[in-house]
Amino acid sequence: MNTKRAVYIHIPFCKKICPYCDFCKVFYDADLVNQYLDVLNQEILSNSIKEPCRSIYIGGGTPSCLSNTLLEKLFQIVRQIPTDGQTEYTIECNILDLEEDKIHIFKKYGINRVSVGVESSILKLQKKLNRIVPRKVLEEKIKLLKKNGIQNINVDLMYAIENETLEDLKEDIYFFLKLDTTHISTYSLMIEPHTKFYIQNQKEIDEEENAKMYELICKTLKENGYQHYEVSNFAKPSFQSIHNLTYWDNEEYYGFGVGAHFYLDGVRGYHKRNIYAYINGCEKLEKDKITKEDEMDYFLLLGLRKSKGISKKKFQEQYGLSLQDVYDFSSFIKKGMIIENDDYFALADAYFYVMNEVLVELLCTKKL
């Protein structure tokens, strides 16, 4: 297991709540942010991180909605986490927050990667998602990041939105390609409980149409130089997300802030989503000691999300068993669902869309 851990920091504040969002969030209030950051500072200090971290990821919520003063306070707190010249340091942003003074603060504190929730460039879909930003502004903001020296940029593309057509999606993909960013994350719209869309009884689109959209995304992005390195993520060569790969490689990570998950010393856990319990110090972390058998399942389920797949050698080193002695891949290989390449077992590209069904079947072959 990699000795360099990753860090996730959750900033739950938003200026507005998107109708599809199921993440832990509250409306922005400067006094509440101040209190939250004070508690966050104590939490980070109490963990006494000694080794440089491979990545730091500030997510939300909308971290970029903080005032410049509060952003500096946040970054000064995060500065206590050891880094080295290789650390990937990401912040999630609303594209409308990207003014030059804010970007200068990012640079001042070592941010080297920005993730922007664009979602769609098509007006009718933007209206549906309540994320209206003209294309000209989207282009200008991405150029502004690059002009100020932040070249490693992810943009989120959402698809399978109600009334979206394949032609709409094709138009969106080519606009995203025009932005020329290093990374594109794609998300099929899912109607989650406790969201506005769920309350409004919105429905997800037809499964067959969803599959066609996924196929179009994969085909077009790969044809235009992006590597499909994980089921929902595409990157230009050398720009795969180090932070995301930490999860999929089943490596350990810290999780700070309300709603954040963590995996440390064989224990997986999370903060509950009650910001007031967190601020008032009366929150009890939820923790689960993970067995060796559980960890092997995590290794399989997370690793097969990657196009590269899972390493037989790494599995043997970590668990003292061969992959084939624990799971039976034979029928999946025969059917062309799993491909065996040198040291790796990988899911065939054609089965990425139905990955969950394949993984459930594969888990059922477990011999222990």
Identify the CATH number of the domain defined by range 292-368: 1.10.10
- Please report, rounded to a whole number, the percentage of residues in the chain having pLDDT higher than 90: 94
Res. 352 pLDDT band, cuts 50 70 90: very high
Amino acid of residue 60:
G
Taking 80 as the threshold, does the pLDDT of residue 333 lie above it? yes
Q: What is the pLDDT of residues 103-131, one digit of tens each?
A: 999 999 999 999 999 999 999 999 999 99
Residue spans per domain, the chain:
6-247, 292-368
Of 220-229, 233-242, 276-285, where does mean pLDDT reach its minimum? 276-285
Mean pLDDT of 315-334: 96
SS3 343: coil
Query: What value does the mean pLDDT of the chain take?
Result: 96
pLDDT in tens, 169-208: 999 999 999 999 999 999 999 999 989 999 999 999 999 9
Q: What is the pLDDT of residue 2?
A: 61
| pLDDT(284) > 90 | no
| 44-66 pLDDT, tens digit each | 999 999 999 999 999 999 999 99
Indicate the SS3 state at residue 1.
coil
Q: Does the pLDDT of residue 9 top 60, yes or no?
A: yes
Fold of 6-247: TIM Barrel (3.20.20)
E strands, 197-246, are 227-230, 233-235
Q: How confident is the model at residue 1 (pLDDT cuts 50, 70, 90)?
A: low
- Bridge partners (DSSP) of residue 234 are 184, 228
Q: Look at residues 60, 125, 51, 49 and name the one whose alpha carbon lies nearest to residue 97.
A: 60
CB 338 within 8 A of CB 347: yes
Cβ contacts of residue 346 below 8 Å, gap of 6+? 304, 306, 307, 308, 309, 310, 338, 339
**DSSP element (H, E) containing 172:** helix 166-179
Torsion sign across C-alpha atoms 237, 243, 247, 253: positive
